[in-house]
Amino acid sequence: MQDGTRAPENFMKHITCIEDLRVLHKRRVPKAFFDYADCGSYAEETLRANREDLQRIKFRQRILVDVSKRDLSTTILGEPAALPLILAPVGLLGMQHGDGEILACRAAQAAGIPFTQSTMSICSIEDIAANVEKPFWFQLYVMKDRGFIKSLIERAIAARCSALVLTVDLQVIGQRHADIKNGMTVPPEWSLSKLIDFATKPAWVAGVMRGKRRTFGNLAGHLKGTDDITALSTWIGTQFDTTLGWKDVDWVRSIWPGKLILKGILDVEDAELAAKTGAQAIVVSNHGGRQLDGAPSSVKVLPEIVESVGSQMEIMFDGGIRSGQDVMRALALGAKSCMMGRAYTHGLGAGGQAGVAKAIEIIRNELATTMGLCGVNTIAEIDDHVLAV
């Protein structure tokens, strides 16, 4: 299993849900990186609300309906997808498992769903493009250095990325207490407690050491004079742009010729402005409870956003997806597809490509079962009639 592709039989047999992958992730990956994935900002109110509000939504159980021909396939931005699921952009996947971005992308493509590469990846756009078979999506943060951002977009075009996900909810960064307490850095800085932690995770160390890179692959080497890691981290820290506005979305639109998705919309007024930008889709998202703590859960605001702009653009959803039941809930409230972040990251940390494949398979099987027990056969049939009032 060390290369992330060969998992022992036992590994798969005993994994029955995303929480099992989470437990294994915690066991296999150093604390700083597990906490980076698992935690939310500040008091984690929004992180918890994402889960609690999803779980409050109940289904109508229907009986004696012929559900023998259930079909989970759908389209996402006009492209066929095996199920209405997307791997969300997650930074530092290559620190959860060596070459993590490549392995997660391969698992997504084998399962017939899109993978989104984060700007803050360990593998570069080119590393992924050279090691997977099909186009993937690229997520962009617009940083102060617009010349560099333009070059990133051009690299995504050259790599034939099939959609650009522009994340718009990170002008300032929500604090995650655990990252500060753990001294989370990329690459890891050595301390006695970290060395002890790493010594108990030999498979992780071997995987990361074999990986292509141990720093931000999209940024390293492309910035004048910042091959040095400390300079690179300092540069990133100064690059988040508090002046960002809708005009910057227009600027990105003018450079990127393909499908554009705006990620991080949580308010109807913003959704209405987003609908005027020429973007094809939005992701209703609070960044997985990692940004504005005290913001509502994504699922709470989903229905009003669907009502307002759902006929003008494709509505995607994320925040708290840990099961196929959760996907069904979001679809019932009008989302066309769901992104998952932590659920597959736990799979990656637990077992590389096989772990991500397992996370997708778990969600797929749960969605198929939930559809059957609600008496529906196709994704198109899922709407609020599957919900108990």
Active-site residues, by number, are 287
Q: Which is nearer to ligand FMN, 74 or 286 (CB)?
A: 286
Smallest distance from ligand FMN to CB 283, Å: 7
Q: Which is nearer to ligand FMN, 182 or 345 (CB)?
A: 345
Contact 271, 198 (CB under 8 A): no
By beta-carbon proximity to ligand FMN, the closer residue of 29 and 309 is 29
Residue numbers at the binding site for ligand FMN (CB under 6 A): 36-37, 50, 88-91, 118, 120, 139, 167, 263, 285, 287-288, 290, 318-321, 339-343, 345
Nearer to ligand FMN, 29 or 37 (CB): 37
Tokens of 171: 């002008």
Whether 118 and 87 have beta carbons less than 8 Å apart is answered as no
Residues whose CB is less than 8 angstroms from the CB of residue 157 and which lie 6 or more positions away in sequence, other chains included: 256, 257, 258
E-strand spans in 184-333?
259-265, 281-284, 314-317
Residue placing its CB nearer to ligand FMN in the complex, 285 or 370: 285
Least Å distance, CB 62 to ligand FMN, is: 28
Q: What is the CA radius of gyration of the chain?
A: 20
Query: CB of residue 340 vs ligand FMN: minimum separation in angstroms?
Result: 5
Q: How far is the CB of 180 from ligand FMN (least distance, A)?
A: 15
Q: First CA to last CA across the chain, in angstroms?
A: 45
